[in-house]
Amino acid sequence: MHAALGYSPGTPQVGFSRFQLTALFCAICFISKLFRPPDNTVTIDKSIFSRIQDYGIVWLMSKLFTCIFSILCLCCHTAYGWYPIQPDESLIPSTDGASLIGSHRTYYTQPGDTLIELALQGGLGYLALSKANPEVDPWLPQAGTRILLPYAFILPTGIQPGITVNLAELRLYYVWHEQNSLRVRVYPVGIGRSGWDTPEGSFEVIQKIVRPAWHPPASLRLENPQLPASVPPGPDNPLGEYWLGLSAPGYGIHGTSKPYGVGRRISHGCLRLYPWDIRDLFARVKIGTPVRILRQPVKIGIKNGKLLLEVHRSDNFSDQNLLEETLQRIAQVAGHIQVNRDTVEREIHLGRGVPTIISGD
């Protein structure tokens, strides 16, 4: 009863978008035509072996190379990181309590998989994926291990149209109006490491730049004297292809040349998105878009009459601090609902970041 919501049966195709699957189908149809002989002779009754005999092994190898190259180009492309993908799941309910969005998926590991690669392929943050699967060795998971892909989440309290970044969970929420409804799109994000903390507060987007140059601040060049005064646009530019400058001087939302840092506390204060995600967000955001950066380690929601808890642990919060905040939020949201104290304390201790039912005995 008191289990994480949304465990889906089966093995999803991590790293494939609907666009890629459609493109793969079209490619297969196209590739099937490649095995026609190089002339206009009708050869319906010829087998592949007779064609090899007629046209030679070079013909066969050229066709096989084209097939393999085409499929690899499609299959190796990383899926978009933002979610939920399904349009009906991106609607924010009009009722205050029903704040669970999206649905989890599961994946069964293959030989050679690592969680950091699966996070990249699945469009998730590395820490979110590893914390959702605390029993799994992130570098050497056994083949066939069941992995929870945490695509379900509780909305932060007081979320509004515009951008909301919850530093505790390393997610960026973009909310917009569409046909008298509110929709949400979520992106994993890298944030400032210790000593270079991302600032909290209310800001707005004041700048949009395509192919920005990077000018390392004096404090960073003092830390690393080898840094140049300016890095031009290109593959070595840590800002990536897009920059959304914030009203907080020196801070912004941008892409990255190091996507493995997304979903981790690794930056010098700015907010890093996957290259394909910042491209999507950049096209949606306008100058003046409000940006709220907050820290909510505990989120409470209601779905189908069940009370849900989602906890994101960090070194800044003890179990006791999180328990007090959790009980306070429960009293604010649904003080009349009885909760299972053992489940609450377990989720606080684990800090898995997975919405979990806590109501009932």
Looking at residue 55, its pLDDT comes to: 55
If you average pLDDT over residues 160-189, what whole number do you get? 94
Tell me: pLDDT of 72 over 70: no
Looking at residue 358, its pLDDT comes to: 93
Q: 337, exposed or middle or buried, with CB in 10 Å at 0-12, 13-18, 19+? A: middle
The predicted model scores a pTM of 0.76
Residue 161 pLDDT level (bands cut at 50, 70, 90): very high
Q: Which phi and psi angles does 343 have, rounded to 5°?
A: -65, -40
If you average pLDDT over residues 193-199, what whole number do you get? 83
pLDDT 10s digits, 8-50: 323 333 444 444 444 455 555 544 544 454 444 444 344 545 5
| From 104, 254, 268, 312, active-site residue | 254
Looking at residue 81, its pLDDT comes to: 54
Q: Is there a catalytic annotation at residue 254?
A: yes
Number of alpha carbons in the 13 Å side-chain half-sphere of residue 213 = 6
Tell me: pLDDT of 187 over 50: yes
Domain at 88-294: CATH architecture:
Beta Barrel (2.40)
- DSSP structure string for 89-142: GSBPPSSSSB-EES--EEEE--TT--HHHHHHHHT--HHHHHHH-TTS-SSSPP
| From 104, 268, 270, 312, active-site residue | 270
Average pLDDT, the chain: 79
If you average pLDDT over residues 149-167, what whole number do you get? 94
Tell me: pLDDT of 212 over 50: yes
If you average pLDDT over residues 175-183, what whole number do you get? 90
* Percent of the residues in the chain that have a pLDDT greater than 90, as a whole number: 45
Highest mean pLDDT among 70-84, 241-255, 329-343: 241-255
In the chain, the N- to C-terminal Cα span, in Å, equals 9
What is the DSSP pairing of strand 162-166 with strand 242-246? unpaired
Q: Is there a catalytic annotation at residue 76?
A: no
pLDDT 10s digits, 92-145: 887 655 478 999 999 999 999 999 999 999 999 999 999 999 999 999 999 999
Looking at residue 312, its pLDDT comes to: 93
Looking at residue 1, its pLDDT comes to: 29
Looking at residue 10, its pLDDT comes to: 31
Return the domain boundaries, the chain. Answer: 18-75, 88-294, 298-357
Helices and strands in the chain: count of H runs, count of E runs: 9, 17
Query: Is 173 in contact with 153 (CB distance < 8 Å)?
Result: no
Of the ranges 58-72, 77-91, 239-253, 306-320, which one carries the lowest mean pLDDT score? 58-72
DSSP 8-state symbol, 233: S
84: cis peptide before it, omega within 30°?
yes
Looking at residue 194, its pLDDT comes to: 77
